[in-house]
Homo-oligomer: A and B are copies of this chain.
Amino acid sequence: MRESTFSIAGSIRSLLEQKKYNSLKDILTTMNPADIAAAAGEMSETELPLLFRLLPKAQAADVFAEMEPECQEQLIKAFSDSELALVINELYVDDAADLIEDMPANVVKRILKTASPDLRREINEILRYPENSAGSVMTTEFVALKPEMTLDEAMTYLRRTGIEKETIYNCYVTRKGVLAGIVSLKDMLMAADGTKLIGDIMKTDVISVGTSVDREEVAKMLSRYRFMALPVVDDEERLVGIITFDDVIDVIEEETTEDIAKMAAITPPEKTYLHLGVFDLFRSRIPWLLLLMVSATFTGMIITGFEEALAAQVVLTAFIPMLMDTGGNTGSQSSVTVIRALSLDEIGFRSLPQVVWKEVRTALLCGATLAAACFCKIMLVDRLLMHNEAVTLTVALAVSLTMVVTVVVAKFIGCVLPMLAKRLGFDPAVMASPFITTIVDALSLLVYFTIAKQLLF
């Protein structure tokens, strides 16, 4: 059993240094392409092509497809034209299309020049679909059968052409290019009689997606139906490609990373963390920080508005961070829960009343508990233990009352804003902690000072 490969990069480097190429070759044949690609990510610019040339021909394209774009670019620059042609023409079409999308213009030119006319045509096919659409993630290497084929004919066809296909386990049946049915290799194998027609054993009720459907939607469908692949059809219902489960797993991970970034007020980055430069990080973070900083000045204005009251009762200031933080935390809990439920399609906009009712009751429970704890803490710790004379019963009451109202308001806003965002066609993930916190801060201080003024002055 092998689990992690991260330690192997070091061994590879020292074998390269010692020029023990034969041992390296032997080790590489025992490794999986994904592991070799990961190790390759830790090689220097000179080591990388050296390592790659040691790979068995059959593995080279697979390893290349698994590499980070930065590595691929370095390698392509080191390749001769014939080396490049060898690798490129071995790639699956969807991997080749990904590569083209990731490379700078001059590298793209070189790739397209060395690609075979067939591959070039198929790459261009995929590239004309908008980013993140089903068309842009599909592969065109699927098995298409005809309904009038017999099972034996279909199996012979599979044996002859299957090696180049991304999967042969789901075969699609077309009539003049239009998707007419699906037949799994399992069904074909289980059918005893080889003279039966494909058209007779195929399932005609095929679930497919259009080329322009968002890739996130595709991922949801595949995971919902537990399919190994989903067929992609054009506007005339003609089969143009398939999307396989492994690409969907990548999509799910990328979309989650994007959502999590948005929830933390970051513009989703295009690269993995270690490949992001300081300026990339700066650019993806500063707009949101500026926006939120400006929004937070409203909260400051509220404080300025109640400056006189604060000057008279400076003790009130000490509870501002606790009220603001608790409001922010409790609002974030609701917003993040709702955002996740929305993104998993567990709830939709029509669930709004149900969600609000649930959150408000939860808020009352949480608010009452927090207020009670807060009241006891203020009276016992601040007043009795620390002998802070300014902390009166009325102050404790004002803070606790504010707590209840803040929690209810925070959870209400926390669940309503993401659902409204979704309804209006925005990404609800943006309505997470940072924005909710900013809004709730202002409201909680408004409530605090209003209550304090009523009780104390």
Contact = CB atoms under 8 A, between A and B. Distances in A.
Interface stretch (A50-58, A100-108, A118-126, A345-353): A345-353
A362 B285 CA distance: 9
A299 interface: yes
Interface string A257-283: 100110111100000111010110110
Contacts of A186: 162, 168-169
6 contacts: A1-B207, A3-B213, A257-B344, A281-B362, A293-B370, A310-B317
Closest 4 CB pairs of A and B: A264-B336, A299-B321, A273-B341, A226-B246
A94 interface: no
Given A273-B346, A377-B297, A434-B329, A370 B290 contact: yes
A326 B434 CA distance: 9
A319 B300 contact: yes
Interface stretch (A14-22, A79-87, A194-202, A217-225): A217-225
A322 interface: yes
Contact of A322 (B293, B321, B335, B341): B293
A205 B6 CA distance: 18
Nearest to A403: B293
Interface in A234-276: 237, 245-246, 248-250, 252-253, 256-257, 260-261, 263-266, 272-274, 276
Given A228-B245, A351-B274, A300 B285 contact: no
A310 B313 CA distance: 11
B441 A321 contact: yes
Contact of A318 (B260, B301, B361): B301
A424 interface: no
Contacts of A274: 341, 346-347, 351, 354
B297 A340 contact: no
Interface in A184-199: 185-186, 189-190, 192
A336 B266 contact: yes
A175 interface: no
B2 A369 contact: no
Given A34-B226, A304-B388, 19 more contacts: A1-B237, A3-B217, A223-B253, A252-B252, A263-B336, A264-B335, A264-B336, A273-B355, A274-B354, A278-B361, A282-B362, A286-B369, A303-B318, A307-B315, A307-B317, A325-B441, A328-B328, A332-B434, A433-B433
A163 B265 CA distance: 50
B163 A190 contact: yes
Interface string A381-394: 10000001000000
B3 A34 contact: no
Contacts of A297: 322, 377, 381
Q: How many copies does the complex hold?
A: 2
Nearest to A432: B264
A314 interface: yes
Nearest to A293: B326
A8 interface: no
A159 interface: yes
Contacts of A288: 329, 333
A273 B337 contact: yes
A366 to B, nearest CB: 5
Contact of A320 (B249, B260, B320): B320
A264 B158 contact: no
Contacts of A32: 207, 225
A9 interface: no
Contacts of A301: 318
A158 B250 CA distance: 31
B337 A322 contact: no
A162 B185 contact: no
A367 to B, nearest CB: 10
Given A341-B273, A437-B328, A189 B159 contact: yes
Nearest to A33: B225
Nearest to A185: B185
A379 interface: no
A140 interface: no
B333 A265 contact: yes
A437 B324 CA distance: 11
